[in-house]
Structure 1
Amino acid sequence: MKKKHVILVIILCITMLESFSQQTKTVTTVFELFNLSPAGCDVSNYEAESEMSIENFSNQKKKKEEKGEDLNVIMEKYTSLFKRSNTISEQFEKKPEPIVTFKNGTHSFKKDNKYGLITANGNILMPAQFNTIIQSGETGFVAYKNQLCNYYSNDGNKILNRDYFYIKPTIKQSLIVQTEKGFGLLTKKGKVLIEPGYYQIEEVDKKDQFYYWILKSKHSGFYLSENTKDTIHLNIPPKELNFIDSEYWYRYGNLINIKTKKRVICNRYNIDVLSAKHQLSSIKDSKTKLKYLMKHNGDLVTNQPFVKIQRFRENNLAIAAIKKDNKAVYGVINHKGKWIINPQYYRLQFLNDTMLNATNINDQSGIITVKNKNITAFEYSNIRKINEHYALAIKEENKLVHSDIIDLQNGKKIKENLPYYSISQTTKCDTETFIASVNRQESVLNSKFKTISPASYTRVYYGKNNTFEGTNFLENNKRESQIFNCDGTLQTIKINNKKYDTFYSYEEITPNLHHVLLSTSNGYFINAKAQVIKNNTHWQHIEYSNSKDLFITMGYGGKYGIINSMGETIIPPIFKFISAFDPKTKLAKYNFDKKQKGYITVDGTLLFGTKYEDTELLNYDLFKVKNNDHFGVLNKNGHEIIPVKYSKIWLNGGIIYAQLGKALKQFDLMGTPIN
């Protein structure tokens, strides 16, 4: 009997020890913590929608609309005003640079709308023969003759033994090419790396990593390594991926291990990357809402649950918070999860890598070091960062503000008992300047924190060319503005022999052209000849058009027009939109009304008139046009190379895809059917 009792006691002891061991076993991974599989799980399929073209026009059915005023008739009034003398235009237009330029001086030239290659000494290496020419670093260029292209060296020699519909050099000295069979990959010497046959190939260069994104079809892709030997079957477009390092990628709150080709965490746990350098992330418990610090492979850095963890700084530290007495208290942890500053503050903010703004349980703020040494007393209501060198420490008593400026290098007060509630550094002027606010008024300070603005204003805005605009907002939607420079000198304008320094609005379009709107609502352009041209429009924005001496205007209410450098109206603000002229195409996109959209030429004519409802640049001097929800393609001469009858059209490389119902056709850049 005694032996049986002894055996029973031993069994009970062993059982209790095993139970105790299990209870005290340290959880070391998030897989154990959340009862997840450490093997990870496959990345969900994703249908990649990738087209090398502009967005397709909407095909939604619209109510029949009455056609507005004929834009052709309107433009006849203004086209002649686009003619400007070369002398005036040259003052504004930048001389166009050659599309292709090499260090030895060899460059492209244009003649009769064709491109060739010429040396610095003027010797023609290649006569003008190409429709399009594209720079490719110092080693060569791509050039198109009609619908086909080839790759040429910088001395004009053709490199490839056949032409292609599309060629794109990569940063890794390879060539993405396209034949009638699809996309492939070559070396710059023409050796085939990938046989043509894919829907599309793009180069991906992120965080010192290089891959080819290869689409087998519009909705199915994978990644191929730089050496074309390693494949990652991950059907997610590059724009949706954050390459953290050579082992992990990140997408939509989850980590992807590119070596195992799996998501690190299955189920719906939200992950935030906190440090790429240390491979640290936080994972959020969906039930408790608490966060845990983990390595990217799922190992727990610490078992401590956090309410919040901020991203790690370059000093390898992060602000973190835990829950105490149902409140969040903040401290600082290092990349190993150890508390450098114990959680004891109700608010904590880095001012720079060595100093923090801390708020204690009594809601008093002070500045501490990362070693939790007090730099200031905890006697402030708030502390605001000015820049990396200074902070503004604020005391509020009986609605009065008394603030000190603290030098963050040594913790000393360099200014005391100031009235400012905030000070922020500006990006204007050659020396440090600041915008300070007090009693809902703003002023500008110099590097010594002395006031330089002529007055205080409701708001201070940035002006052009190292100026500020001080604005006071008055009753009944009225306002007054003054313009002053970095010394505080007011800008004055002389109108009809009277000087003004206060305006409703002021716009410096160029150093020689200004528009002012006075408080009386009278507006004027003042040009280089000191001429005053009356114009009462309240302009919201005016920018150079990239053509001649013309400027695109936008008035409040969103209407666009064009003026010249003398302030004369070329087109009144009657358009819904006008873009600047594209330097390459010499065209400006316009939207007049819902039925009249297209392009304006630099000569003030409408490209293709108003024959089409909408026009979009496709590429290579080709345009996609729309009428009655049908699409076609025109060349720059207005000839329909693909009839306007298709439901959808897009450009993929150098091949145009046209869809009609379920039928899909392919055309080259001349409009010739391929299949």
Structure 2
Amino acid sequence: MIWMRFFLAVWFFTGSAVTLFAQEGKYKIREVEYDQDSTGKMIILKNLEYRRIYNDNSWGFIDQSGDIVIPLNKYKFLNPMDEEGMILAKKGNKEGFIDINENIIIPFLYDDVGVFSHSTALAPVAKGNKQGFINRKGELVIPLEYDYISRVVYFYAPGIAVLKKNGKYGVINALNETIIPFEFDEMKHWRKHGMITAWKGGKWTCFTPSGSPLSGYCNYRILSDSYSSRLPANSKDLPILVERNFQKNARNNNFNADSIKSEFAYLDKHQNEVVPFGRFDKAKNFGLGRKAIVGKNGKYGIINDQGAVVLPLIYEFIERPYHYSNYSNIFLVRKGSEVSIFDKQLNNISSERIIDYDLSGGSIIVTNTAKKKGLIDYEGHQQIPFLYDTLYAGAGRGKKYIATKAGKYGMLTAENQIIQPFKYSYIYDNVFVDLEGKCGIFDKHGRLKIPFEYDAIYPTWYDNFFPNKNTYIVEQGGKIGTIDDDNNVIIPLIYDGLSGWVEYGPMGHFAKKDGKYGLISPEGKVLISIAYEYVGLPAKGVCAVRKNGKFGLVSTSNQVILPCIYDHLYLDIPYFEIDFIDDEDLDLPLKKEKSLIVTRQGKKYTYYDINGSEIQTDVPMAEIQRKYGSNLMHFTDSNEHYDFDLKQKGGLQKIKEENDRINHLYLKGKNRF
């Protein structure tokens, strides 16, 4: 389902949503929308007339005035409107297309539907375990004769689709003509390279997108990077990095992992060696400027796409900075005590002698010979001059930098504009600490919004409960609570600890008081009584707890489901529903797993459902070991563990210690091979 894959990518990487309230309840607005071009590259959609809204279980649309055009609670999912005014929609368990007036353009007939490809104007559809393609009239122009396994497959430029039929891979065009026969075990379309690789019997060969064979078969392992954004705009016919393994001592027939050595080579699409095996012992894929970083005997250099050395192997390390999928247009090169900046033509563009740098947070912070810090961008241009004793990337959108001069902290932009003067004893995230050790926060206009009266301030990550406001965990006089932007108290400052962000955690705070733990909502309502030695991560509204050394199960509405009488209790509850996971890199089962609560009393194991009803008693140990292994023996059962991110008394000192540790971990001197 491209719509679900698309939704997950936006959720994790942009986080761009605003929470609002309407008559029908709370919803979020998608502020940034994406599409794919004919090559599969993600592009941002601009000047949208309508924007999507969503809540926990449905989607809708609003217009530019904020009026609801398609209400919530009707469609399980809505894709952005395409260039023809068509909206992919899911209603019940079927999918089809509607327009902005909710007229049905293509009926809800299919189990899975994709968007229309730019290269062919066809959309993939699936029923049962078969896939085909429809046109914009809804006509099935390519029949449901191809294998469907958890997701639909698309046409990409130059108008071809890599599909599976009767368990084998092949390629068709938009007329359903077979371009490459369906006889391969695996297949990959290298869209930027302009070729297709196909595997059969453990060996692979290359084809053109039109189906012409380019090579014979070989069994070398192809090494490819995760992000296509690493590749240059012109990636056609770039050499392929491959690896082969062999045993160092051929006389020794005993397998030993240490005796296995890798060799690298670069092949063209005809499998001819551009760079032979053994020439380099380290190698990266081709990227910036159609060049690749290589190494031999601990020294590194750069080759071009013909395999010629264009930067000699005399450097201690070379790397191309990147942050997630954002790749720079420079190489950073170290030789001895000096770092140089090279552009993609390998011109040295360093403006001043550099002795060190730090790549943390997607910034390139550089140090000169006077040990002053500055900033360069991903083009190698100096943005912040060498003026500061320390320089770190700040938190939040719109890059801000925390710097020190003469022992005082200040904040500035990437263009070296002063946001807050150098008069603070410390700054972390967007929190300022005055010379008396009290914390406060300024708004985006530089006005003080949280006064300097707290011992520590942290984000809550639950701002969507409070429209148009940020909320914060605060420490004052050794007690913990929460406040909003206007310094109004939300959760009273009566607790000894409140959790911040917890991975896979609840929409609430783990709370500590008088040595006991519980769970409270962002508004301060008690969800689980603060009466336990331990409260685990909730799943499907239930949670493991421990009292007097014994485990039990409670609901997040504070109801006891299983009493605290067990030596151990394990929640076998899948975190994701299958409808909300669909990614081309995941091979997921279509069957939903049953949720189980597994308990142990002495040597006796029992299964319960999440309502506390017994499913099976005296479960054999062999089954427990097979299904759960060491999960029942090794687990975290302390809310003081760092995973729970409990904010407690003395938090500012802990922040300083942790930030100092992180900020001094310079990512230097090591090639990422």
Cα displacement (A) at 1:580? 3.6
Whole-angstrom CA distance in 1 between matches of 2:381 and 2:106? 68
Which position in structure 1 is the counterpart of 2:537? 541
Cα displacement (A) at 1:357? 3.7
**Matched residue SS, 1:229:** coil
Whole-angstrom CA distance in 2 between matches of 1:502 and 1:221? 62
Aligned pair in 2 of structure 1 residues 627, 100: CA closer, same or farther (>3 Å)? Answer: same
Aligned pair in 2 of structure 1 residues 598, 312: CA closer, same or farther (>3 Å)? Answer: same
Which position in structure 2 is the counterpart of 1:216? 200
Between 1:208-217 and 1:232-241, the stretch displaced more is: 232-241
Asked whether the 8 Å contact 2:449–2:486 carries over to 1, the reply is no
Which position in structure 2 is the counterpart of 1:71? none
Q: 1:301 aligns with which of 310, 315, 323?
A: 310
Q: 1:468 aligns with which of 472, 476, 487?
A: 472
Aligned pair in 2 of structure 1 residues 281, 415: CA closer, same or farther (>3 Å)? Answer: same
After TM superposition, list the pairs within 5 Å mapping 1:26-37 onto structure 2: none
Whole-angstrom CA distance in 1 between matches of 2:437 and 2:381? 37
Cα displacement (A) at 1:228? 1.8
Aligned pair in 2 of structure 1 residues 345, 187: CA closer, same or farther (>3 Å)? Answer: closer
Q: 2:154 aligns with which of 157, 170, 189?
A: 170
After TM superposition, list the pairs within 5 Å mapping 1:355-370 onto structure 2: 357-360=366-369, 363=371
Cα displacement (A) at 1:353? 12
Whole-angstrom CA distance in 2 between matches of 1:215 and 1:515? 51
Q: 2:115 aligns with which of 137, 140, 144?
A: 137
Which position in structure 2 is the counterpart of 1:403? 409
**Matched residue SS, 2:489:** coil
Deviations 1:284-307 (A, max 9, x none): 330xx3322433433333458323
Letter in 2 for 1:563: S
After TM superposition, list the pairs within 5 Å mapping 1:132-531 onto structure 2: 133-138=111-116, 139-144=122-127, 158-159=140-141, 163=145, 166=148, 169-172=153-156, 174=160, 178=164, 180=166, 182-198=168-184, 200-204=185-189, 208-209=192-193, 212-217=196-201, 219-231=202-214, 233=217, 235=219, 240-241=224-225, 244=231, 245-246=235-236, 247-250=238-241, 256-261=266-271, 262=273, 264-267=275-278, 269-271=280-282, 273=284, 276-286=287-297, 289-303=298-312, 305-311=314-320, 316-323=329-336, 328-341=337-350, 344-348=353-357, 357-360=366-369, 363=371, 375=385, 381-386=389-394, 390-395=400-405, 401-406=407-412, 408-409=414-415, 415-420=421-426, 423-424=428-429, 433-434=430-431, 444-447=441-444, 448=446, 452=450, 455-457=453-455, 460=458, 462-465=460-463, 466-470=470-474, 481-493=480-492, 500-505=493-498, 516-519=511-514, 521=516, 523=518
Cα displacement (A) at 1:125? 9.0
Cα displacement (A) at 1:415? 0.9
Letter in 1 for 2:572: F
Which position in structure 2 is the counterpart of 1:73? none
Letter in 2 for 1:259: K
Whole-angstrom CA distance in 1 between matches of 2:524 and 2:135? 51
Aligned pair in 2 of structure 1 residues 526, 389: CA closer, same or farther (>3 Å)? Answer: closer
Which position in structure 2 is the counterpart of 1:579? 574
Cα displacement (A) at 1:523? 4.0
Letter in 1 for 2:497: Y
Whole-angstrom CA distance in 1 between matches of 2:508 and 2:365? 48
Asked whether the 8 Å contact 2:241–2:285 carries over to 1, the reply is no
Whole-angstrom CA distance in 2 between matches of 1:529 and 1:332? 52
Aligned pair in 2 of structure 1 residues 512, 251: CA closer, same or farther (>3 Å)? Answer: closer
CA RMSD of aligned residues (A): 5.9
Instruction: Structure 1 unaligned segments of length 5 or more: list them.
Output: 1-86, 425-432, 494-499, 546-550, 616-625, 630-675
Whole-angstrom CA distance in 1 between matches of 2:408 and 2:545? 43
Deviations 1:191-224 (A, max 9, x none): 23333333x3445456x4565453323x333443
After TM superposition, list the pairs within 5 Å mapping 1:71-150 onto structure 2: 93-94=57-58, 95=73, 97=75, 133-138=111-116, 139-144=122-127
Aligned pair in 2 of structure 1 residues 339, 558: CA closer, same or farther (>3 Å)? Answer: farther
Between 1:403-412 and 1:223-232, the stretch displaced more is: 403-412
Which position in structure 1 is the counterpart of 2:646? none
Cα displacement (A) at 1:150? 5.8
Whole-angstrom CA distance in 1 between matches of 2:542 and 2:599? 18
**Matched residue SS, 2:315:** coil
Aligned pair in 2 of structure 1 residues 154, 311: CA closer, same or farther (>3 Å)? Answer: closer
**Matched residue SS, 2:409:** strand
Letter in 2 for 1:541: L
Whole-angstrom CA distance in 2 between matches of 1:434 and 1:350? 23
Letter in 1 for 2:115: G
Aligned pair in 2 of structure 1 residues 405, 522: CA closer, same or farther (>3 Å)? Answer: closer
Deviations 1:233-282 (A, max 9, x none): 46567784566422134467956343352362531635465982312333
Cα displacement (A) at 1:464? 1.4
Deviations 1:313-354 (A, max 9, x none): 88854443322xxxx123434444444337744324589999
Cα displacement (A) at 1:423? 3.9
Asked whether the 8 Å contact 1:541–1:555 carries over to 2, the reply is no
Letter in 2 for 1:290: K
Whole-angstrom CA distance in 1 between matches of 2:74 and 2:593? 15
Whole-angstrom CA distance in 2 between matches of 1:604 and 1:154? 50
Deviations 1:562-586 (A, max 9, x none): 735x443556793243224626466
Cα displacement (A) at 1:505? 2.8
Deviations 1:484-528 (A, max 9, x none): 3344443225xxxxxx54342358999997764423526465799
Cα displacement (A) at 1:311? 1.8
Whole-angstrom CA distance in 2 between matches of 1:352 and 1:530? 36
Aligned pair in 2 of structure 1 residues 365, 607: CA closer, same or farther (>3 Å)? Answer: same
Aligned pair in 2 of structure 1 residues 561, 280: CA closer, same or farther (>3 Å)? Answer: farther
**Matched residue SS, 1:305:** strand
Whole-angstrom CA distance in 1 between matches of 2:509 and 2:384? 53
Asked whether the 8 Å contact 1:600–1:606 carries over to 2, the reply is yes
Asked whether the 8 Å contact 1:578–1:588 carries over to 2, the reply is yes
Asked whether the 8 Å contact 2:438–2:453 carries over to 1, the reply is no
Asked whether the 8 Å contact 1:552–1:561 carries over to 2, the reply is yes
Asked whether the 8 Å contact 1:330–1:343 carries over to 2, the reply is no
Cα displacement (A) at 1:468? 2.9
**Matched residue SS, 1:579:** coil
TM-score normalised according to structure 1 size: 0.53
Whole-angstrom CA distance in 1 between matches of 2:295 and 2:108? 65
Aligned residue-pair number: 480
Cα displacement (A) at 1:97? 3.8
Which position in structure 1 is the counterpart of 2:582? none
Letter in 2 for 1:225: T
Aligned pair in 2 of structure 1 residues 178, 335: CA closer, same or farther (>3 Å)? Answer: closer
Deviations 1:404-448 (A, max 9, x none): 44555356695124322x544xxxxxxxx4466999997655443
